[in-house]
Each structure stands twice: as structure tokens, then as C-alpha cells.
Amino acid sequence: MVVLPFGVRSPGDYNTRFQAMTQPQKKTRRQMLEEFVAAKPNDAFARYGLAMECANSGDTTAADQQFKALLGTHPEYVAAYFQYGQFLTKTGRTDEARTTLTAGIATARRTGDDHARSEMEAALAELG
């Protein structure tokens, strides 16, 4: 017979008939962003985040849709032009990247965003 210290139970003393309760699955960043965009479809920052998340995870179709939706509703969102241009370049769509970056440069110039303008000009120059 094994003597256990006071208050310590042996494994056989526990009722193990019930399965352990599982924790609910944590939502992915993309799921949270999708929910936020669904709740606030005109929130430019949320849609930009979703577009970036789709692009970074390799979902090119969804990324393309999100960038287009963002620029369609918020044509002044300068950062989206740069990121969308980079995305288009990475996916081999150079002509579209040139068009997007050119539009982004014009928007950056109009809004006074010299930093973004210079980054997009450099990206456009790299495309040739």
C-alpha cells in the first residue's frame, strides 16, 4: 500500500468518465479582420489590413478583391496604391502594377504625401 501525503489523491480517485472541456478555437487574424470589414465595410483601415493579410497568406484572389474594393471606395488611401503595386509585381502583373503605382503617385502628389510618392516612384523605376 502506497501512503500519499494528506490531501493528495491517487489517479484512480478521479472521475475520468467525462471528456475534458475544450477551449473554443481562437480566431485567426484574417477571421477577425473579415468580421470587422463585414460589420464596417467602409472602414478603410480594416479593409487595408484584410487585403494585406490575404496577400501575406498567399490568397491572391482575395487580396486582389480587397485592394480593388479599398481603392474603389477610398481612392485617397495612398498606402494601398503602394502595397497593391507591390502585390501586383510579386504576382507577375507588371502592367497593372505600373498603372496602380502611377495612379498612386498622382494621389500622393495631390495629398502632399511626399514620402509615399518617392517610394512609389522608386518602385515604378524598378519595373522599368
Better pLDDT: 43 or 21: 43
| CA-based nearest residue to 46, from 107, 13, 38, 61 | 38
Is 26-127 assigned to CATH 3.90.1150.10? Answer: no
pLDDT (0 to 100) of residue 11: 61
As a whole number of angstroms, the distance between CA 118 and CA 50 comes to 25
Q: pLDDT tens across 85-97, in order?
A: 999 999 999 999 9
pLDDT of 4 strictly over 70: no
pLDDT (0 to 100) of residue 24: 73
Distances (CA, A) of 66 to 3, 60, 95, 114: 65, 10, 19, 25
The reported pTM is: 0.78
Domain regions of the chain by residue span: 26-127
Better pLDDT: 30 or 24: 30
pLDDT (0 to 100) of residue 19: 58
Helices (H), 1-128: 29-39, 44-57, 60-73, 78-90, 94-111, 114-127
